């Protein structure tokens, strides 16, 4: 294939603007998938992705398209995730493209995430093709959306393509535009090999498989490749493309996108962002890689049944093979026993990992309250990073606690400005800017503590604006805040799994809510159990679970023994699902209560 | 649980092979599954039956006993016989006596055996009782439950205070000096005063034994249904606890000893038949729905009197309804749990020895016992554990801890 006939592109869109549907139509049109195989949303193959309607892991698909000029083009479609948690993955796929299709919903117009993705694309010098989707909807206003594209993003919308991915209208125009407007990749197949690994996954039979974009040179079966960051040398056993089913090809040349298999046992040897070169004819300098992902949210994951600890480790290791952003290390909790401290890109990432562990590895987990990473300066000047509330030094030794702040861009119809301001205020936000954009829509910019965002900011935003608001955020750095550690004591024992770092003004309210909720969720024990919330040594809220009065079988004679024994065995099973903290048995739901605080 | 196919006369096989496999102190239970009507709270196997059905049932029962073995075989003799139900007093007294005679012949029931028959006031005449007594019954257990007409009506029981008084008087006259009364507490609508009065009235009848049961609304019973649907309000837990505690104090003051969670007796009048259950002794059951236990094996004859009768009268094996062969560890755990129901508790070492379970489990039990004793939930002396009185009503919580 001549390089002039290759196009590498991706689709960027706000969630629900129809990215997956358009991708499906493109696959149909290029006959990559027969209609029979066409389960809706082919690229979203993970069950979870389908259920939640989001794309988590990006995929690359190679398509052959006969354009109106009579030529056959190779189109490499690289899928990107839409959720803000996964911005990192978006930037990865953008680096492998020359062009991007920007989808905007014809009824909803530009949303906060649309903007974020456009800026990423512009940073990567991509050719952007605006597409206005869902023109079949009764509320569609393509002309208004065109104006928004011009006014808000500053793109020329004259050539914006009107599409209904659902009905298939305009899809061919999109592909023609890709062919016409996206530049072919620069081609120098004769140069020494240089490939960018933009993703990798682990296959039980083939070992680590790398998705690559060949930047220069050529790679084929038998090539001895070298990983530039680790120096590892491997012999390529298979080269291929996804159509979307994997298909072997003789080789990949500069500008092409595909996968490389080289009997690599450890996925760590195929680090995403690394450069692959020819071991016998290496390049001197690696490609600019990716910035290292830093987890934003941490929480503890513990098996409900202690015996599942090793299975949990195995599950995390397996997920990590395909998810460079997931980090974990062993942790011990006085309350929960052995588990792992895990770091995630955001709350959605956390939920997805938790669900996958429970579903794919059949584990039952207790999750501790998620928290951000704090920077603590002690009175002796020593600085430390705190990823776990229990690691916070005692109050007297803490000089300053800093927490991460984000700059949040919120886009809403003008009527909701008041509501957003109120919400942002509640969440300790600082107003930065407000801009009226086309058609009575407003872009509000606030700086907010990340910790507030990871709780229920997004849900609140959605519910208070009847779903009209969209938002996006980026980290802007650490700021000192008046933070304290809120501890929960059950039967006078501190239960570390319940500890949270929280703003001083919120501690009382949260403490009250939490003890109240725990009183309802912890079953009565044989003795009275006090539940207290404390900041430092000061108890700020208290509830009491009264003692159980009666649990006895009135009668047990010859004919009753089997039945009654089984009844007790069942009670025992129920208790096994609880965590014994001191002499108190705490059910799994109680630990969940910390996660679901609506104050 | 091992499900075995119904065998040709499981009992027969057991006896002709080796009757000495039964532990000393074993007892015989005879189930009479007939009731005039079902009480609202009852989850036992029982149903209504006409006189002809009752006679056929007894005929089948007698065959069953006959199958059970031959006279003169060596082995321990049963120490107790218990006619329970249902309502044994619905059978003509002569049939009860005839059944007892057959048992005596088959198993050489000794003359000092404890022979209990359960009766419902209002289903029996003085002549019947006389016949029972002369036929060898020596312990009478009356299902009184309550004395208040409104509570009795709620429970679906047809009896009057008068019936009870007359019956007790008659029983005394014909020579029953061992008398139990069953009473219920925790009946919806029952007050603490009701309960106090019930206990006073009960003691006025001078029983030797009292069984005080906390009414437990089982699912599938009428009462369970009413509660689930909110048609009736349960007795407040505080009241139930207060009633139990009152009874314990009151009866102690009146010279009764509590020897099990729900059972109280004048010294020497503890029910030997039931004590055997709580020692996890052996027992043979006859009748539809009756349970038997021999060592690790426990089985129940089919709880369907129709097929019970048909199979016996057509010389086919009696179907087994449920059966279970326990591992020594599970059996030992049962012995422990049952033992904990007794106020004098259970000896961990003896249980370990009797069931031949490993030192590891014994050590684990010891550890649990130490922990519980430290918290004051149990009394732990030597190798014996017993519930502390303030945990009688929390017995399940303690027992569950011993399931290792």
Kindly indicate the confidence band of residue B4, based on its pLDDT and cuts at 50, 70 and 90: very low
pLDDT of residue A357: 92
B173 vs A: CB within 8 A: no
- Percent of residues, chain B, with pLDDT higher than 70: 94
Minimum Cα–Cα distance from B390: chain A residue: A549
Provide ipTM, 2 decimals.
0.91
Work out the minimum CA distance from B272 to partner chain A, whole angstroms: 12
3-class state of residue B323 by DSSP? strand
Q: Which has more confidence, A59 or A305?
A: A305
Q: What pLDDT, in 10s, does the model give residues A324-377?
A: 778 899 999 888 889 999 998 877 788 889 988 988 888 989 888 888 999 999
Is the pLDDT at B386 greater than 90, yes or no? Answer: yes
pLDDT of residue B17: 43
Could you tell me the two tokens for A61? 């698909």
Least confident of A126-135, A294-303, B289-298: A294-303
pLDDT of residue A599: 47
Find the CB nearest B261 among A549, A552, A569: A552
Work out the minimum CA distance from A267 to partner chain B, whole angstroms: 43
Minimum Cα–Cα distance from A524: chain B residue: B397
Q: Which residues of A touch B335 (CB under 8 A)?
A: none
Is the pLDDT at B105 greater than 90, yes or no? Answer: no
Q: What pLDDT, in 10s, does the model give residues B160-185?
A: 888 899 999 999 999 999 999 999 99
Mean pLDDT of the B215-230 span: 89
- Does the beta-carbon distance from B291 to A565 stay under 8 Å? no
Q: Are A252 and A221 in contact (CB under 8 A)?
A: no
- Residue A154 burial class via C-beta count within 10 angstroms: exposed 0-12, middle 13-18, buried 19 and up: exposed
Q: What pLDDT, in 10s, does the model give residues A191-248?
A: 899 998 877 777 778 888 888 889 889 999 999 999 988 888 999 999 998 877 778 8
pLDDT of residue A2: 67
Q: Which has more confidence, A209 or B305?
A: B305
How crowded is residue A108: how many other Cβ atoms within 10 Å of its Cβ?
21
| CA angle at A344 for the pair A60 and A361, rounded to the nearest 5° | 75
Kindly indicate the confidence band of residue A188, based on its pLDDT and cuts at 50, 70 and 90: confident
- Residue A111 burial class via C-beta count within 10 angstroms: exposed 0-12, middle 13-18, buried 19 and up: buried
Q: Which of A526, A556, A558, A569 to mutate to test the interface with B (most CBs of B within 10 A)?
A: A558
Q: Which residues of B touch A570 (CB under 8 A)?
A: none
Is the pLDDT at A36 greater than 50, yes or no? Answer: no
Q: Which residues of A touch B396 (CB under 8 A)?
A: 551-553, 568, 571
Question: Of A155-159, A267-271, B150-154, which has the strongest mean pLDDT?
Answer: B150-154
pLDDT of residue B13: 52
Is the pLDDT at B361 greater than 80, yes or no? Answer: yes
Is the pLDDT at A454 greater than 90, yes or no? Answer: no
How crowded is residue B3: how many other Cβ atoms within 10 Å of its Cβ?
9
Least confident of A22-26, A429-433, B110-114, B141-145: A22-26
Q: Which has more confidence, B137 or A189?
A: B137
Mean pLDDT of the A446-474 span: 82
Please give the mean pLDDT across all residues of chain A. 85
Work out the minimum CA distance from A47 to partner chain B, whole angstroms: 39
A381 vs B: CB within 8 A: no
CA B143 from chain centre, in angstroms, equals 12
B2 vs A: CB within 8 A: no
B373 vs A: CB within 8 A: no
Q: Which has more confidence, A100 or A58?
A: A100
- Does the beta-carbon distance from A551 to B337 stay under 8 Å? no
- Does the beta-carbon distance from B400 to A575 stay under 8 Å? yes
The one-character DSSP state at A339 is: E
- Percent of residues, chain A, with pLDDT higher than 90: 37
- Percent of residues, chain B, with pLDDT higher than 90: 74
Is the pLDDT at A80 greater than 70, yes or no? Answer: no
- Does the beta-carbon distance from A553 to B216 stay under 8 Å? yes
Kindly indicate the confidence band of residue A398, based on its pLDDT and cuts at 50, 70 and 90: very high
Is the pLDDT at B94 greater than 90, yes or no? Answer: yes
B 209-238 residues with CB below 8 A of A?
A: 213-216, 237-238
Of the candidates A232, A156, A171, A169, which has an alpha carbon nearest to the alpha carbon of residue A11? Answer: A171
Work out the minimum CA distance from B55 to partner chain A, whole angstroms: 24
Minimum Cα–Cα distance from A561: chain B residue: B334
Find the CB nearest B396 among A549, A553, A555: A553
Could you tell me the two tokens for B48? 């209504």
C-alpha–C-alpha distance, residues A300 and A369, integer Å: 8
pTM for the predicted model, two decimal places = 0.70
Q: Which of B364, B400, B401, B404 to mutate to test the interface with A (most CBs of A within 10 A)?
A: B400
Kindly indicate the confidence band of residue A115, based on its pLDDT and cuts at 50, 70 and 90: confident
pLDDT of residue A191: 87
Q: What pLDDT, in 10s, does the model give residues A152-187?
A: 888 888 889 999 988 888 999 999 999 999 999 887
Q: Which residues of B touch A572 (CB under 8 A)?
A: 400, 403
A573 vs B: CB within 8 A: no
- Does the beta-carbon distance from A526 to B274 stay under 8 Å? no
3-class state of residue A371 by DSSP? strand
Kindly indicate the confidence band of residue B74, based on its pLDDT and cuts at 50, 70 and 90: low
C-alpha–C-alpha distance, residues A474 and A477, integer Å: 9
pLDDT of residue A293: 65
A568 vs B: CB within 8 A: yes
Which residues make Cβ contacts (< 8 Å) with residue A53, sequence separation at least 6?
A: A15, A16, A20, A44
B396 vs A: CB within 8 A: yes
A547 vs B: CB within 8 A: no
Of the candidates B28, B200, B37, which has an alpha carbon nearest to the alpha carbon of residue B116? Answer: B28
Find the CB nearest B393 among A549, A565, A571: A549
pLDDT of residue B1: 40
Least confident of B47-51, B284-288, B368-372: B47-51
A-B contacts at Cβ under 8 angstroms: 87
Kindly indicate the confidence band of residue A50, based on its pLDDT and cuts at 50, 70 and 90: low
Q: What pLDDT, in 10s, does the model give residues B39-58?
A: 888 888 888 888 888 999 99
| CA angle at A190 for the pair A189 and A195, rounded to the nearest 5° | 50
Mean pLDDT of the B17-29 span: 75
3-state secondary structure A583-594: CEEECHHHHHHC
The one-character DSSP state at A186 is: P
């Amino acid at each position: 294939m001549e390089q002039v006939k290759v196009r590498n592109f991706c689709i960027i869109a706000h969630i629900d603007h129809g990215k997956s549907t358009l991708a499906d139509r493109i696959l149909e049109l290029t006959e990559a998938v027969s209609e029979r195989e066409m389960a809706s949303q082919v690229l979203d193959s993970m069950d979870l992705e389908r259920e939640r309607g989001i794309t988590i892991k990006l995929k690359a698909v190679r398509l052959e398209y006969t354009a109106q000029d009579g030529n056959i083009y190779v189109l490499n479609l690289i899928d990107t995730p839409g959720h803000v948690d996964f911005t990192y993955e978006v930037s990865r796929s953008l680096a492998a493209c020359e062009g991007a299709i920007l989808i905007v919903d014809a009824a909803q117009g530009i949303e906060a995430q649309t903007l974020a993705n456009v800026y990423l694309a512009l940073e990567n010098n991509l050719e952007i093709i605006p597409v206005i989707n869902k023109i079949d909807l009764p509320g569609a206003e393509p002309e208004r959306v065109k104006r928004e594209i011009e006014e808000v993003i500053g793109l020329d919308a004259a050539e914006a393509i009107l599409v209904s991915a659902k009905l298939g209208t305009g899809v061919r125009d999109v592909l023609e535009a890709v062919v016409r407007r996206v530049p072919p990749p620069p081609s120098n197949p004769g140069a020494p090999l240089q490939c960018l690994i933009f993703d990798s996954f682990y296959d039980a039979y083939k070992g680590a498989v790398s998705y690559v974009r060949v930047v220069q040179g050529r790679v084929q079966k038998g090539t001895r490749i070298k990983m530039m960051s680790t120096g590892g040398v491997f012999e390529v056993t298979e080269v291929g493309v996804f159509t979307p089913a994997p298909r072997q090809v003789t080789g990949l040349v500069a500008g092409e996108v595909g996968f490389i298999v080289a009997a690599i046992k450890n996925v760590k040897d195929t680090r995403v962002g690394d450069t692959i070169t020819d071991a016998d004819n290496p390049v001197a300098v690696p490609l600019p890689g990716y910035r290292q992902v830093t987890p934003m949210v941490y929480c503890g994951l513990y098996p409900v049944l202690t015996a599942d600890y090793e299975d949990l480790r195995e599950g995390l290791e397996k997920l990590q093979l395909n998810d460079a952003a997931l980090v974990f290390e062993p942790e011990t909790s006085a309350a929960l026993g052995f588990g792992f401290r895990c770091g995630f890109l955001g709350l959605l990432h956390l939920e997805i990992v938790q669900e996958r562990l429970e579903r794919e590895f059949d584990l039952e987990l207790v999750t501790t309250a998620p928290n951000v990473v704090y920077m603590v300066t002690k009175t002796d000047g020593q600085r430390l990073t705190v990823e776990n509330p229990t690691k916070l030094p005692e109050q007297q030794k803490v000089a300053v606690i800093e927490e991460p702040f984000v700059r949040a861009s919120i886009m809403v119809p003008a009527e909701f400005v008041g509501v957003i301001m109120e919400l942002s205020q509640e969440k300790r936000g600082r107003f930065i800017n407000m801009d009226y954009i086309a058609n009575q829509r407003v872009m509000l910019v606030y700086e907010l503590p990340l910790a507030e965002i990871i709780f229920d900011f997004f849900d609140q935003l959605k519910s208070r604006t009847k779903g009209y608001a969209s938002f996006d955020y980026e980290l802007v750095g650490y700021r000192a805040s008046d933070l304290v550690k809120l501890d929960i004591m059950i039967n006078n024992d501190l239960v570390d799994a319940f500890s949270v770092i929280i703003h001083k003004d919120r501690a009382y309210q949260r403490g009250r809510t939490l003890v109240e909720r725990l009183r309802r969720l912890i079953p009565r024990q044989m003795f009275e159990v006090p539940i207290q919330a404390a900041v430092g040594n000061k108890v700020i809220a208290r509830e009491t679970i009264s003692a159980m009065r009666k649990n006895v079988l009135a009668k047990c004679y010859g004919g009753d023994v089997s039945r009654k024994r089984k009844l007790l065995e069942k009670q025992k099973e129920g208790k096994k699902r609880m965590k014994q903290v001191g002499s108190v048995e705490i059910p799994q739901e109680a630990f969940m209560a910390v996660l679901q605080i609506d104050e | 649980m091992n499900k075995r196919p119904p065998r040709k006369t499981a009992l027969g096989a057991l006896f002709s092979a080796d009757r000495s496999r039964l532990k000393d102190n074993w007892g015989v239970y005879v189930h009479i599954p007939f009731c005039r009507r079902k009480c609202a709270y009852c989850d036992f196997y029982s149903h209504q039956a006409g006189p002809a059905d009752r006679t056929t049932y007894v005929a089948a029962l007698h065959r069953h006993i006959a199958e059970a073995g031959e006279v003169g075989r060596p082995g321990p003799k049963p120490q107790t016989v218990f006619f329970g139900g249902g309502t044994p007093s619905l059978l003509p007294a002569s049939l009860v006596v005839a059944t007892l005679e057959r048992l005596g012949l088959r198993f050489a029931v000794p003359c000092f055996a404890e022979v209990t028959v359960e009766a419902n006031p209002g289903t029996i005449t003085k002549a019947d009782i006389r016949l029972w007594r002369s036929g060898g019954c020596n312990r009478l257990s009356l299902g009184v439950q309550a004395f208040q007409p409104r509570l009795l009506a709620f429970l679906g029981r047809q009896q009057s205070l008068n019936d009870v008084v007359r019956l007790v008087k008659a029983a005394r006259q014909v020579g029953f000096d061992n008398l139990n009364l069953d009473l219920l507490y925790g009946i919806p609508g029952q007050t603490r005063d009701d309960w106090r009065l019930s206990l006073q009235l009960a003691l006025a009848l001078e029983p030797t034994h009292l069984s005080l049961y906390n009414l437990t609304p089982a699912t599938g019973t009428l009462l369970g249904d009413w509660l689930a649907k909110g048609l009736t309000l349960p007795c407040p837990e505080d009241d139930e606890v207060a009633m139990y505690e009152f009874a314990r104090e009151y009866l102690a003051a009146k010279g009764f000893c509590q020897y099990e969670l729900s059972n109280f007796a004048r010294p020497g009048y503890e029910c030997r038949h039931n004590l055997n259950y709580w020692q996890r002794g052996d027992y043979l059951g006859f009748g539809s729905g009756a349970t038997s236990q021999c060592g690790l094996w426990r089985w129940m004859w089919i709880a369907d009197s129709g097929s019970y009768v048909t199979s016996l009268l057509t010389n086919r094996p009696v179907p087994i309804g449920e059966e279970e062969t326990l591992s020594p560890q599970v059996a030992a755990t049962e012995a422990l749990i049952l033992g904990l129901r007794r106020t004098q508790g259970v000896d961990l070492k003896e249980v370990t020895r009797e069931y031949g379970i490993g030192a590891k489990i014994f050590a684990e039990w010891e550890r649990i016992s130490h922990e519980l004793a430290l918290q004051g939930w149990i009394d732990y002396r030597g190798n014996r554990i017993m519930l502390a009185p303030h945990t009688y009503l929390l017995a399940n919580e303690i027992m569950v801890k011993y399931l290792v």
